[in-house]
Amino acid sequence: MTLLTLTHAQKLTSAACETAQEMGVPMTVAVVDVGGHLVSLARMDGAAFVLTEVAIGKAFTAASFGVPTAELAALFQGRTQFTTSIQVATQGRFTLSRGGLPLVVEGHTVGGIAASGGTGDQDLAVVRAALAACS
């Protein structure tokens, strides 16, 4: 079984922070394991602390479904009751905001990564760049 290592999580985190730095947008980057639990987190200087929970939530959500949060938003379109119930049950950890991607190794979801601090598209671009840099 392939697992997510701290070394790999930190490479992803650093790569994401570098892209956010180039964009000039301070972000929080979170990487979680397949259980949705934090492995690595970095909050850049100037990143609003309230978004830390959002970054963790997006990585958590992507890991839990093995699907990008942006796709989940489309999948659950119109199912407000359902998504609200998950949000309440997870104390707000579950979210459909763009910018959370699953980490997949040999077809298996091993975790999730997310950035938070910019627009949804900026957050997503940062995470995609990190995955590309570390593949």
Instruction: Tell whether residue 74 is a contact of a copy of itself (CB under 8 A).
Output: no
CB of 1 to a copy of itself, least distance (A): 5
Q: Report the C-alpha gap between 25 and 121 in whole angstroms.
A: 12
Helix (H) or strand (E) holding 110: strand 108-116
Q: Which residue from 16, 57, 115, 127 is in contact with a copy of itself, where contact means CB under 8 A?
A: 57
Residue in this structure with the two tokens 């992507």, named with its chain if needed: 62
What x-and-dash track marks residues 94-123 binding a copy of itself by CB under 8 A?
A: xxxxx------xx-x----------xx---
CB of 42 to a copy of itself, least distance (A): 6
Instruction: Tell whether residue 5 is a contact of a copy of itself (CB under 8 A).
Output: yes
Tokens representing residue 130 in the block:
């990190």
Instruction: Tell whether residue 79 is a contact of a copy of itself (CB under 8 A).
Output: yes
Q: Phi, psi at residue 107, to the nearest 5°? A: 85, -5
Neighbour-count burial for 41-74, b at 16+ CB within 10 Å, e otherwise? bbbbeebeeebbbbbbbbbbbbbbbebbbbebee
Q: Which residues make up the interface to a copy of itself (CB under 8 A)?
A: 1-3, 5-6, 10, 17, 28, 33-45, 48-54, 57, 60-61, 64-66, 73, 79, 81-82, 85-98, 105-106, 108, 119-120
